[in-house]
Amino acid sequence: MFKKIHLSALTVVSAAVIAILPSTGAAQQALTVASWGGAYTNSQIEAYHKPFTAKTGTKITSVDWGGTLGEISAQVKSGNIKWDVVDLEPAEALKGCEEGLLEKIDPSKLPAGADGTPAAKDFSSGMILPCAIGVITYANIVAYDKAKLGANGPKTLEDFFNVSKFPGKRGVKKDPSVILEWALMADGVAVADVYKVLSTPAGVDRAFKKLDTIKSSIVWWSAGAQPPQLLAAGEVVMTHAWHGRIVDANNKEKKDFGVMWDGQIQIPDLYAILKGTKNLESAQEFIRFASSSQPLADQAKYIPYAPTRNSALALIPASNPYKAWLPNAGHPGRAMPTNAQFWMENGDDLNKKFAAWLAK
């Protein structure tokens, strides 16, 4: 005979068992996403993280990183994976994939656009890589303080390199990419020929020779928040900057910084997954969500970076004040996309040459 158990006792026992069992609910899931901080990370939190958490229950922790593959390599090779998803640029995405530091992403599982367009046709060219999916495109531009220069501010890249016409310090990111392309453009190389010229020893020498003309006037920066700070403090008369940081400073801090679009170099940011993460399925789900049409369009509410899907661009209303500040909004002057393959293949060598030039 089986002994009867009183219902109240059973309830107590069940509650006790439940209390000691580990929770497997979605609310206990968590992801760590590494990005660039500041206004950009905030735009991701608002457009991607919060809606994804509301939809899935998965908590997302944001951390900042420095952008070097060494930070990812150290985690993957040690097996001590601290980040699940990382926001990186295309050259690093290609190289990280080649070196086995990033998980492969199946493009067939990406959702179709809001208008039904298949993902493969909806994304801009180069935004679906073997190990990364593009989410935004930003522009490297020259910024200046209109309160000081006004209508007499720089109009072309040639002005950035002309210390006689525009005396004073220039802010430049301490990295060979962008500034080497700018040096060649300012030296008369056509946009279409920049990487062809930079692929030759003579072209590299030409770029550094042009940089020599402003070397003593350069203030180097390493974090995206620094250019508006340098301008506000009067430490530079103009600076290389990520355009969204300048627009953000104008809107939130009521600055009067001008953007000179000539020579803009457009660079996408992509999401990738660290090889070996224990949260692979959730990380894949997050990237599929973040790179879908509506979240990409929503991000433009918070920062003027262009979504990588055509269907997302169509969802940004004309009333959005940031729409006019998107890199592809028809600004005057020369413009070019970065060549990720070039930087993947030549980045190490050019970084060494850049370091040697800095040490002279």
Question: What's the pLDDT score for residue 226?
Answer: 95
* Calpha distance 303→322 (Å, rounded): 7
- In which band, very low, low, confident or very high, does the pLDDT at 38 lie, cut at 50, 70 and 90? confident
- Separation in Å, CA 189 to CA 150, 199, 202, 272, 337: 29, 13, 13, 34, 15
Mean of the per-residue pLDDT values of the chain: 91
Whether the predicted pLDDT of 8 surpasses 70: no
Whether the predicted pLDDT of 20 surpasses 70: no
Q: pTM for the complete prediction?
A: 0.83
Domains of the chain are: 26-137+269-325 (3.40.190.10), 138-266+331-359 (3.40.190.10)
Both structure tokens of 281: 């399925």
Give the tens place of pLDDT for each residue, 227-265: 999 999 999 999 999 999 999 899 989 999 999 999 999
Give the tens place of pLDDT for each residue, 252-309: 899 999 999 999 999 999 999 999 999 999 999 999 999 999 999 999 999 999 999 9
Question: What's the pLDDT score for residue 295?
Answer: 98
* Calpha distance 283→33 (Å, rounded): 9
Which of 12-21, 51-60, 220-229 shows the lowest per-residue confidence on average (mean pLDDT)? 12-21
Give the tens place of pLDDT for each residue, 94-140: 999 999 999 999 999 999 999 999 999 999 999 999 999 999 999 99
Question: What's the pLDDT score for residue 193?
Answer: 98
Sequence-separated (6 or more) residues with CB below 8 Å from residue 112: 118, 119, 122
Question: What's the pLDDT score for residue 87?
Answer: 98
Mean pLDDT of 200-226: 97
Contact 211, 179 (CB under 8 A): yes
* Calpha distance 105→168 (Å, rounded): 47
Whether the predicted pLDDT of 17 surpasses 60: no
Question: What's the pLDDT score for residue 4?
Answer: 34
- In which band, very low, low, confident or very high, does the pLDDT at 76 lie, cut at 50, 70 and 90? very high
Give the tens place of pLDDT for each residue, 171-187: 999 999 999 999 999 99
